[in-house]
Structure 1
């Protein structure tokens, strides 16, 4: 899957894509941007675009196996699609660390111990076999 972490105005994410036990890419760009909205995606790469489409109003059909941290203007949120509610959005509090993906427990523990978002993804990649490759970061305006 991946690890995406947010802390103190920084979103960090890895670039590894796996299929089962095989690393297919270690330099994949997991941030998609449309109309100024950034989607940091975790899950099935084949569903990334479908989640973005659903966010912009396309009716989701079938299973969309992706969740994303989304930066829309000054709002940061977790976005996903499920069978019961369709597209849903949950706000992320900017004054607290947050993480999604298969390396979530490691990233949260690292940030609780004082690590930055970048360091948290780096640490998650040491224990989570679905996290790795190049770690990227995006600096966002921190709103209190």
Structure 2
């Protein structure tokens, strides 16, 4: 899966790709730019295009997807997904709170509760979650918040 964490205007995410219990890739760029929006996903990679399509109003199937993600759209951070009960859904993330998704979510949230940055939280998750690892990258989405916390600029390693 993966770990994606948000805190103080910064999203951090790992670069590990797994196939079952095997590591397939440890330096994969997971940030997807499409039509002026930025996407990051956790779950089954084959389901990511379907979620992006539904975000843009194109529905290809009714089958449940084994993925959810974050999208930066029009200055907002939103979580997206699709399940059997609700269909496609989009929920705005409260940018004044820490947030995380993916297999290392609980580790990342605990680390941020203890004062870690989003990047430090994903690094902490990578120590305990076998599906999180590789290069930890950041994306600054709210420069005002990030500068107040001395975060790196835009996309970094």
Q: How does 1:1-144 map to 2 (within 5 A)?
A: 1-61=1-61, 62-141=63-142
Distance 1:69 1:143 in 2: 20
TM-score, length-scaled by structure 2: 0.87
Distance 2:57 2:134 in 1: 33
Q: CA shift at 1:82, angstroms? A: 1.2
- Unaligned runs of 5+ residues in structure 2 are 146-157
Distance 1:60 1:126 in 2: 38
Distance 2:46 2:27 in 1: 16
Distance 1:25 1:88 in 2: 29
Q: Which runs of 4+ in 1 moved over 6 A?
A: none
| 1:33-84 deviation line (CA, Å, top 9, x unaligned) | 1111111110001111111111111114123211001110111111001122
Q: CA shift at 1:5, angstroms? A: 0.1
Distance 1:74 1:34 in 2: 15
- Unaligned runs of 5+ residues in structure 1 are none
Aligned residues: 144
Distance 1:58 1:65 in 2: 18
TM-score, length-scaled by structure 1: 0.95
Distance 2:68 2:123 in 1: 20
